[in-house]
Amino acid sequence: MKLPFGILATIAMLMMFGADMQHPAIAVEPSEVLSNPVLEARARAISSELRCLVCQNESIDESNAPLAHDLRVLVRKRLLAGDSNAQVKEYIVARYGNYVLLKPPFIEETYILWFGPLALLLAATAAVFVFYKRSAGVPPDPAPLSDEESRSISILLGEPGEHEETR
Amino acid sequence: MIVETGLFALILALFIAAVQAVVPLIGAARGDSAWMNVDRPAALVLFALITMSFGALMWAHVTSDFSVLNVVQNSNTDKPLLYKITGVWGSHEGSMMLWTFILTFYGMAVAAFGGNLPPGLRARVLSVQAMIAFGFILFILLTSNPFARVYPAPLNGDGLNPLLQDPGLAFHPPFLYLGYVGFSMAFSFAIAALIEGRVDAAWARWVRPWTLVAWCALTLGVAMGSWWSYYTLGWGGYWAWDPVENASLMPWLAGTALLHSAIVAEKRDTLKAWTIFLAIITFSLSLLGTFLVRSGVLTSVHSFAVDPQRGVFILLLLLLFTGASLFLFALRAPALKGGGLFAPISREGGLLFNNILLSTAAATVLLGTLYPLFVDALGLGKISVGPPYFNMVLVPLMVPMILVMAIGPFLSWRRGDFMGALARLKIAFVVTAVTIVATLLIAGASARSVWASLGFGLAAWLFCASLIEWTGRIGLFRRSLADVFQRARHLPRSAYGMTIAHMGLAIVLAGITGSLAWKTEKLQVMYPGDSVAVAGYQIKFTGVDNHVKGPNYTASRATFIASRDGQFVAKMQPERRVYTNPPQDKSTVAIHTNFVTDLYAVFGEPDGKGGFVTHFFLNPLVPWIFFGAVVMVFGGMVSLSDRRHRVGAPLRKTRATPVASAPAMPAPATVVVANGERKGLLRGWVYLVPLLGFIVLVGFFIHRLQLTSEGDTPNLIPSVMIGKPAPTFNLPPLLADRPGLKTADLKGKVTLVDFFASWCVPCRAEHPVLPLVTQAGIRLVGINYKDKPADAKAWLAELGDPYQAVAVDAHGRTGINFGVYGVPESYLVDRNGVIRFKQTGPLTPEIIRSKLIPMAEKLEQ
């Protein structure tokens, strides 16, 4: 037997809301802040790149969930213990997996993600190149209109200045 | 009665939409003007019916008719009138009604103002519009009926989520939908043109104003949403690259590309297939956004109540509209051949460059937004793609676009003079250089100010170049003043529109740069009477009024006096509100703006000793972001007021027989069939690529919906601890007479480690099934996660104690080491102390029997 989806969804909601919806104002609490401003700035930078696990898509720096609080404290503890930024992230990833990284790591699974934009750009450029080759190349330049001519066109069209746009 | 009338009108509208979809289309195919002429009255009646239906729903909300389920779920008598009205579209059902209302509004507009359209084109456009309307009305009636009654009617309703009780709800969704749905016009025109088999300059000229309307509305809608989140979320963020935000950005990027390629299609009769493609894609991205927001295939902060069943229906609509239109595109596009040739360096070339980058950006946002779904569907685990990714990949795309955006307008059509354009930009070069140097001098040399200087330089470059282009056109400094005025007056409004919109973007860019580079914040506990210094401001906390009464909330309101150099600047009063229905908290911030910098105050929790958490931000240049967006919209509207966008569309040479010739006989003047069968076939393949890509995408969505309906929601995170030894811990016991728990205790026998807490609701559901675990001979130990010991003891006393040992993880650190993210969670550990299985969420008899026990038996051998 499988649990009906409705029940699971309700449970998921309860888990989420029970933990999450209490105080939607301030994420980082004064008690968490480190006295060393350099370390604190690093902690903030790291926190903003770690995804809160119980929330709907927020970083732990923005979230009010208790787990986000615990993780922020943990990040600061690791920094105080002398970890580098990368080591702190590794510490969290070792427990929760790559899911917590808002900046996805450069691994086999994410090659398409990281190379995708460049590939798309190259494909679009190639398409434009083919487009140019297909069309018979550069058009011959007609002799430009003299001032006299463009003025008379304006008068004929009854819209002075109109020719400006297609200059 | 009124409610039933609304439902009845909606049902009737379904039939009218069916008629409007079918009859004019057949009429256009046969050249039967009587059948074609059904389109206009049908569109007017459809709009009237939907208005009636929407009005009935609004009536139910305004009068608090609690016999209507939708009103019960989203309203309450205490709610102020404004939110009773805007609350109509605060729910999924109501927002779909708004969507349909706007859709039929556009159809009505074509019927009422499209008098200069050839009847065949108009009939087909309105027919396609009606097909979309039919799909959405059917969707509402079958899955999201807002008129459903409830019996017996409750005395009062549940109320609206406090976060939605904000003036933002009155503007953001209507404009957003005016934008999303507005692109359905370009879509309908594109489909009509593909059916008809002709795309020419006149077609592009008709499409442009509709695209422009949609673009203005969407720009405004997105900017308003961004502003709303800026003053609501409490940390001054205005863009988070959330899937729902991306869902609005993608049609914006594609729509902006469409706006520009349509210019080329109109003026130079080329890039036609591409313009048609963009029209299809832009609306499809709007539909995709609707699907993403409402189906729950992705996790987002802003989601509606998600429902996979509805997701399936929207996916069907998406499949139908986008699939069919891409199929039609693959059939017809190869025959659309461009007329006007142009050199790579030319106005067309510049617009094409803009199109390449904008569409690559749109595709990149799509890739990043959906990538977690792809990886998950392929069984490669779960990953997140967040702001750092989007910032990294989009900045390199946007920078060259803005560089070229400044130059493009200087290039002439067909063949431009690049060096000549640069020569005319001499002043812009100087201003850019001065901006960069000045920024560095003022801000000091740090990595941050280098980035800021480049951002400001780019903004200055675009702003200045736009200004120079305009002064050049009116001949400022070159001609007599009278002549300049004459020229300024006669310069087409569309030219003004472009200049203004481009300058607006420059302002947005400067705003984003400033806010990223120099945001400062200060977080502290303050007692009444305390002062803090925040970036040159002195902020004094004068006191708290704990008894503020709102219409449906009570609030604590803090008062801060901000001053600078002893001079009073502003009184700021942020609040913490407690709403009665639904009982939820909401924090409202106080913002003081001088239109350059925002001082932003958040009032937090009391510390229990008379102090309060306060959080202040100085957000430099953030007002420019929203101001710049408004300037962009203004530019769009100026362009829209251009005479040629209103009436000047050249009428096609209408023949005695209607233009609506059968698609198989395209007018030779506008369509040149590709030479030769073979070449046509080859080219045809290329045009199939979007359709194939789309089908693959739908496959992924179906798979994801399937997984979700099986309980594997997108935010269920697989454990990385499986196969690894249980983390090291040594926890004290909960009950004094029983032992605690340490890692070594797990060895020797298969053990289930269950994390639980008395405050956790699903734990209560799990508790009664736990004896099944021990009965199967598995050792069961409990770890009481972040709980009060007294509560936990009372819980075990009340519900029974199935655990062989219960340890206390007061701070949740052991939980984190196990990878716990939401109790209850349980881990099956083998005899060597290695984790073999994790259950996230409550154990059920089914999971214990089918998964846990067989696995434990295998491990025990």
Query: In the prediction, which pLDDT does B29 show?
Result: 92
What mean pLDDT value characterizes chain B?
Answer: 89
Cα angle vertex B313, ends B307, B316, to 5°?
Answer: 140
Please measure the distance between the N-terminal and C-terminal CA atoms of chain A and give it in whole angstroms: 73
**CB-CB contact of B202 with B652 (8 Å):** yes
The pLDDT of residue A143? 65
Res. B808: pLDDT tops 60: yes
Q: How far apart are CA B532 and CA A114, in angstroms?
A: 44
Task: Indicate whether A50 and A127 sit together in one domain.
Answer: no
User: Contact A124/B360, CB-based, under 8 Å?
Assistant: yes
Cis peptide before B41 (omega within 30 of 0): no
Nearest-CB residue to A15 (from B243, B576, B762): B762
CA-nearest residue to A45 within chain B is: B388
Q: Are residues A116 and A93 in the same domain?
A: no
Same domain flag for A121 and A160 = yes
Strand partners, B83: none
* CA–CA dist B443, B474 (Å, integer): 37
CB contact (8 A) between residue B267 and residue A138: no
Interchain CB contact of B380 with A (< 8 Å): yes
Q: How far is B621 from chain A (nearest CA, A)?
A: 22
Q: Give pLDDT tens digits for B508-545.
A: 999 999 999 888 889 999 999 999 999 889 999 999 99
pLDDT confidence of B145, banded at 50, 70, 90? very high
Question: Distance between CA atoms of B746 and B765, rounded to whole angstroms?
Answer: 26
B737/B855 same-domain check: yes
CB atoms within 10 A of CB B296: 23
Per-residue pLDDT at A92 exceeds 70: yes
Read off the pLDDT of residues B16-47 as tens digits, 9 standing for 90 and up. 999 999 999 999 999 898 999 999 999 999 99
The verdict on A53 and A128 lying in the same domain is no
Q: Does B840 touch chain A (CB under 8 A)?
A: no
Q: Is B485 on the interface with A (CB under 8 A)?
A: no
Q: Show the tokens assigned to B543.
A: 């006191």
What are the residues whose beta carbons fall under 8 Å from the beta carbon of B292, sequence distance 6 or more?
Answer: B243, B244, B247, B298, B300, B369
Residue B714: its pLDDT value, please?
78
CB atoms within 10 A of CB A139: 14
**Is some CB atom of chain A closer than 8 A to the CB atom of B662?**
no
* One domain, residues A11 and A90: yes
Q: Are strands B590-593 and B520-526 parallel, antiparallel or unpaired?
A: unpaired
B579 and B487 in a single domain? The answer is no
What is the tens place of the pLDDT at every residue in B308-367? 778 889 999 999 999 999 999 998 888 887 677 888 888 989 999 999 999 999 999 999
Of residues B204 and B644, more confidently modeled: B204
Nearest CA in chain A to B484: A161
Contact B713 A8 (CB under 8 A): yes
pLDDT mean over B130-156: 94
CA B374, CA B185: separation in Å to the nearest integer? 31
Q: Is the ipTM of this complex over 0.95?
A: no
Same domain, A87 and A154: no
Domain assignment present for residue B305? The answer is: no
Best residue in A48, A102, A110, A151 for a mutation probing chain B (most B CBs within 10 Å): A102
Q: Which residues touch B464 (CB under 8 Å, ≥6 apart)?
A: B406, B427, B428, B431, B432
**B843 falls within a domain:** yes
For residues B825-841, average pLDDT: 92
pLDDT at B89: 92
Count of structural domains, chain A:
2
Residue B657 belongs to some domain of the structure:
no
Number of structural domains (chain B) is 3
Which strand (E) or helix (H) includes residue A134?
helix A111-134
Dihedral sign for Cα B617, B620, B623, B628, please: negative
Predicted confidence (pLDDT) at residue B553 exceeds the cutoff of 70: yes
What is the mean pLDDT of the segment spanning B546-560?
A: 93
B-contacting residues in A 9-38 (Cβ below 8 Å): 9, 11-12, 14-16, 18-19, 21-30, 33
Is the predicted pLDDT of residue B479 greater than 90, yes or no?
A: no
Residue B445 burial by CB count (10 A; 0-12/13-18/19+): exposed, middle or buried? exposed
- A26: CATH: 1.10.8.640
Instruction: Give the DSSP letter string of B514-547.
Output: HHHHH-EEEEEEE-TT-EEEETTEEEEEEEEEEE
Omega prior to B152 cis, within 30 of 0: yes
CA B260 and chain centroid, separation: 22
Minimum mean pLDDT range among B656-670, B684-698, B719-733: B656-670
Quick check: is B771 in a domain? yes
**Could you say which of B563, B597, B623 is where a domain stops?**
B623
B755 and B844 belong to one structural domain: yes
Q: Is B780 a domain residue?
A: yes
The Cα A158–Cα B659 span in angstroms is 29
B700: in domain: no
CB contact under 8 Å between B711 and A3, yes or no, is yes
* Chains A, B: CB pairs < 8 Å: 240
CB within 8 Å: B491 and A21: no
Q: Which domain holds residue A115?
A: 109-165
The residues, ordered by sequence, that sit 6+ positions from B95 with a Cβ below 8 Å of its Cβ are B89, B173, B177, B304
From the list A2, A51, A55, the residue facing B386 with the nearest CB is A51
One domain for residues A89 and A146: no
A29 and A60 belong to one structural domain: yes
- At B638, the amino acid letter reads V
Does the pLDDT of residue B653 top 50, yes or no? Answer: no
Same domain, A11 and A76: yes
Are residues A130 and A54 part of one domain? Answer: no
Do A69 and A87 fall within a single domain? yes
Is residue B57 situated within a structural domain?
A: no
Would you call B584 an interface residue with chain A, using a CB distance cutoff of 8 Å?
Answer: yes
Closest CA in chain B for residue A124: B356
Q: Which residues pair with A101 in a beta bridge?
A: A50
Residues of A in Cβ contact (< 8 Å) with B343? 138-139
Q: What pLDDT sits at residue A24?
A: 43
Last residue of a domain, one of A51, A83, A103: A103
Whether the predicted pLDDT of B412 surpasses 90:
no
pLDDT in tens, B279-298: 999 999 999 988 888 887 88
Can you give the residue range of the structural domain that contains B459?
A: 426-437+449-491
Q: SS3 helix, strand, coil % of chain A, rounded to 5?
A: 60, 0, 35
Cα B57 from Cα B68, distance rounded (Å):
9
Instruction: State whether A23 and A92 are in the same domain.
Output: yes
